[in-house]
A = this chain, B = another copy of it.
Amino acid sequence: MKAVILLSGGLDSATVLAIARSEGYECRCLSIDYGQRHRAELSAAERVAKSLGAHEHRVVKLDLATFGGSALTDRNIAVPVEGVKNGIPVTYVPARNALFLCHALAWAEVLESSHIFIGVNALDYSGYPDCRPEFIEAYERMANLATKAGVEGRTRVKIHTPLLHLTKAGIVKLGRELGLDFGLTFSCYDPGADGRACGQCDACQLRRKGFDEAGIEDR
């Protein structure tokens, strides 16, 4: 069965791809070039898709920088280094996951696939509204009304979120079990000009904490 996997090139989405593959899906990976600071992600996505034997990997451009409003797409907003705080982080990108899922939905519909995988996580990214289970449920309901599925009574579109309730350490352990090469993935929000992770942003801190708690080396 065909599935569309949203693949950022980070640890989480790479683990999702490994899961989908282990479940026997024919994986079509979709990466979104949305003008993010951390474009090294996109090369990571390409490496990961290849390494995990994805059937296909496409990159679509998405014009989010036009709207701004996030540290990840607006050069005037700095990526914070003081660590994870309460509330909605400035790295939140307006409507990002809804937009990403809609691109996956469009492709899935053309492929006549009913399976979309996304690596959202409700624990470590609890400040992001679009990483919550209630968002995913509402999205799935909307997706089934937005497309042919809802009219022609085909198989319903299913949004798979295998990481939703896992800790970062749990994700690391799962990735290791599935043989994921962590060295191919890239998580930093604000890499240097040399493409190296900054080690200080939320994404770097969460990644380090995950590996520490899992007792696994990040390489």
A-side residues, CB < 8 A to B, are 58, 60-64, 66-69, 88, 92-99, 102-103, 105-107, 109-110, 129-130, 132, 134-135, 138-139, 141-143, 145-152
Contact = CB atoms under 8 A, between A and B. Distances in A.
B110 A106 contact: no
Given A105-B98, A129-B146, A135-B146, A63 B60 contact: yes
A141 to B, nearest CB: 5
Given A139-B146, A141-B138, A145-B134, A106 B95 contact: yes
Contacts of A145: 129-130, 132, 134-135, 138-139
Tell me the dominant secondary structure on chain A's binding face. Answer: helix
Contact of A105 (B61, B62, B94, B105): B94
Given A63-B62, A130-B147, A139-B142, A103 B99 contact: yes
B98 A143 contact: yes
10 contacts: A95-B105, A98-B105, A98-B146, A99-B103, A129-B145, A129-B146, A132-B145, A138-B138, A138-B142, A141-B141
Contact of A109 (B69, B107, B149): B69
Contacts of A97: 146
| Smallest CB-CB A-B distances: 4 pairs | A69-B110, A95-B106, A94-B109, A138-B142
